[in-house]
Amino acid sequence: MKLDQRLIDAAIHLMNTRFPQDEDAGAAAMYTETGEILTSVSPDIPNGAAALCHETGAICEAYKREQKVTASVCVYRAANSSDVLILAPCGICQERLYMWGPSVEVAVADPQDARKWIAKRLDEVQPHYWARVFAEQDGKSW
Protein backbone atom coordinates (compact mmCIF):
# COMPACT_ATOMS: atom_id res chain seq x y z
CA MET A 1 0.00 0.00 0.00
CA LYS A 2 1.14 3.50 -0.79
CA LEU A 3 1.17 6.39 1.64
CA ASP A 4 -2.14 8.24 1.54
CA GLN A 5 -4.39 10.50 3.58
CA ARG A 6 -6.10 7.47 5.16
CA LEU A 7 -2.80 6.51 6.81
CA ILE A 8 -2.20 10.09 7.98
CA ASP A 9 -5.73 10.19 9.40
CA ALA A 10 -5.17 6.93 11.30
CA ALA A 11 -2.15 8.44 13.07
CA ILE A 12 -4.02 11.67 13.83
CA HIS A 13 -7.03 9.74 15.16
CA LEU A 14 -4.85 7.70 17.53
CA MET A 15 -3.03 10.82 18.70
CA ASN A 16 -6.24 12.73 19.35
CA THR A 17 -8.00 9.88 21.14
CA ARG A 18 -4.98 8.82 23.21
CA PHE A 19 -3.77 12.22 24.41
CA PRO A 20 -5.67 15.16 25.90
CA GLN A 21 -5.63 18.45 24.01
CA ASP A 22 -3.58 20.13 26.74
CA GLU A 23 -0.61 17.76 26.28
CA ASP A 24 2.04 17.52 23.58
CA ALA A 25 1.12 14.47 21.54
CA GLY A 26 2.28 12.27 18.72
CA ALA A 27 1.53 8.99 17.01
CA ALA A 28 2.56 6.85 14.08
CA ALA A 29 0.76 4.69 11.53
CA MET A 30 2.08 2.19 9.03
CA TYR A 31 0.69 0.16 6.18
CA THR A 32 1.70 -3.46 5.85
CA GLU A 33 1.89 -5.19 2.50
CA THR A 34 -1.55 -6.69 3.19
CA GLY A 35 -3.07 -3.21 3.56
CA GLU A 36 -3.46 -3.43 7.32
CA ILE A 37 -2.83 -0.27 9.33
CA LEU A 38 -0.69 -0.60 12.45
CA THR A 39 -0.53 2.34 14.85
CA SER A 40 1.56 3.17 17.89
CA VAL A 41 2.63 5.87 20.32
CA SER A 42 5.72 6.48 22.37
CA PRO A 43 5.48 5.65 26.07
CA ASP A 44 6.14 8.48 28.49
CA ILE A 45 9.42 7.22 29.97
CA PRO A 46 10.79 9.14 33.00
CA ASN A 47 14.36 8.74 31.71
CA GLY A 48 14.50 10.36 28.27
CA ALA A 49 17.55 8.28 27.35
CA ALA A 50 15.33 5.19 27.42
CA ALA A 51 12.54 6.72 25.32
CA LEU A 52 11.26 5.15 22.12
CA CYS A 53 9.99 6.76 18.93
CA HIS A 54 6.28 6.74 18.12
CA GLU A 55 6.96 4.33 15.23
CA THR A 56 8.65 1.63 17.32
CA GLY A 57 5.52 -0.22 18.43
CA ALA A 58 4.13 -0.52 14.90
CA ILE A 59 7.53 -1.63 13.57
CA CYS A 60 7.74 -4.35 16.22
CA GLU A 61 4.15 -5.45 15.54
CA ALA A 62 4.79 -5.77 11.80
CA TYR A 63 7.96 -7.74 12.46
CA LYS A 64 6.16 -10.01 14.93
CA ARG A 65 3.49 -10.73 12.30
CA GLU A 66 6.14 -11.26 9.59
CA GLN A 67 4.56 -8.51 7.48
CA LYS A 68 6.44 -6.03 5.35
CA VAL A 69 5.89 -2.33 6.09
CA THR A 70 5.25 -0.38 2.90
CA ALA A 71 4.48 3.12 4.24
CA SER A 72 4.93 5.06 7.47
CA VAL A 73 3.90 8.39 8.97
CA CYS A 74 4.55 10.14 12.27
CA VAL A 75 2.49 13.12 13.43
CA TYR A 76 2.87 15.63 16.26
CA ARG A 77 0.64 18.21 17.95
CA ALA A 78 1.77 20.74 20.55
CA ALA A 79 -0.32 21.17 23.68
CA ASN A 80 -3.39 23.36 23.14
CA SER A 81 -2.79 23.54 19.40
CA SER A 82 -4.89 22.22 16.57
CA ASP A 83 -1.95 22.19 14.13
CA VAL A 84 -0.80 18.67 13.29
CA LEU A 85 2.76 18.56 12.02
CA ILE A 86 4.28 15.82 9.89
CA LEU A 87 7.58 14.43 11.18
CA ALA A 88 9.99 12.60 8.90
CA PRO A 89 11.38 9.45 10.51
CA CYS A 90 14.46 10.07 12.62
CA GLY A 91 17.69 8.34 11.67
CA ILE A 92 17.02 5.40 13.99
CA CYS A 93 13.55 4.86 12.54
CA GLN A 94 14.97 5.10 9.04
CA GLU A 95 17.35 2.28 10.00
CA ARG A 96 14.44 0.25 11.38
CA LEU A 97 12.30 0.83 8.29
CA TYR A 98 15.19 -0.04 5.94
CA MET A 99 14.71 -3.62 7.14
CA TRP A 100 11.97 -3.71 4.46
CA GLY A 101 14.09 -2.01 1.80
CA PRO A 102 14.57 1.39 0.22
CA SER A 103 11.13 1.55 -1.38
CA VAL A 104 9.25 2.02 1.91
CA GLU A 105 7.37 5.30 1.64
CA VAL A 106 7.53 7.78 4.49
CA ALA A 107 5.74 11.06 5.05
CA VAL A 108 7.91 14.15 5.24
CA ALA A 109 6.77 17.69 5.88
CA ASP A 110 6.09 19.90 2.90
CA PRO A 111 8.89 22.52 2.97
CA GLN A 112 6.27 25.26 2.55
CA ASP A 113 3.91 24.00 5.30
CA ALA A 114 4.80 21.35 7.91
CA ARG A 115 1.07 20.60 8.32
CA LYS A 116 1.08 19.10 4.82
CA TRP A 117 2.85 15.95 3.73
CA ILE A 118 4.86 14.64 0.83
CA ALA A 119 5.50 10.94 0.23
CA LYS A 120 9.17 10.02 -0.22
CA ARG A 121 10.84 6.65 -0.55
CA LEU A 122 13.53 5.89 2.02
CA ASP A 123 16.17 6.01 -0.71
CA GLU A 124 15.01 9.57 -1.51
CA VAL A 125 15.16 10.59 2.14
CA GLN A 126 18.57 9.02 2.57
CA PRO A 127 20.17 8.69 -0.90
CA HIS A 128 23.59 7.73 0.45
CA TYR A 129 22.40 4.98 2.80
CA TRP A 130 25.42 3.20 4.25
CA ALA A 131 24.27 -0.40 3.55
CA ARG A 132 23.81 0.30 -0.16
CA VAL A 133 27.51 -0.41 -0.78
CA PHE A 134 27.10 -3.96 0.53
CA ALA A 135 24.07 -4.63 -1.71
CA GLU A 136 25.97 -3.30 -4.72
CA GLN A 137 29.04 -5.36 -3.80
CA ASP A 138 26.83 -8.48 -3.72
CA GLY A 139 25.39 -7.60 -7.12
CA LYS A 140 21.99 -6.63 -5.74
CA SER A 141 20.27 -3.46 -6.77
CA TRP A 142 18.26 -1.40 -4.37
Predicted pLDDT of residue 140? 66
d(CA 68, CA 99): 9
From the centroid of its chain, how far is CA 82? 21
* Conformational region of residue 81, where left means phi above 0, alpha means psi within -120 to 50, and beta covers everything else: beta
**Which amino acid belongs to residue 28?**
A
Which pLDDT tens digit goes with each residue over 20-76? 999 999 999 999 999 999 999 999 899 989 999 999 999 999 999 999 999 999 999
d(CA 27, CA 25): 7
d(CA 96, CA 129): 13
Domain 5-137 sits in CATH at: 3.40.140.10
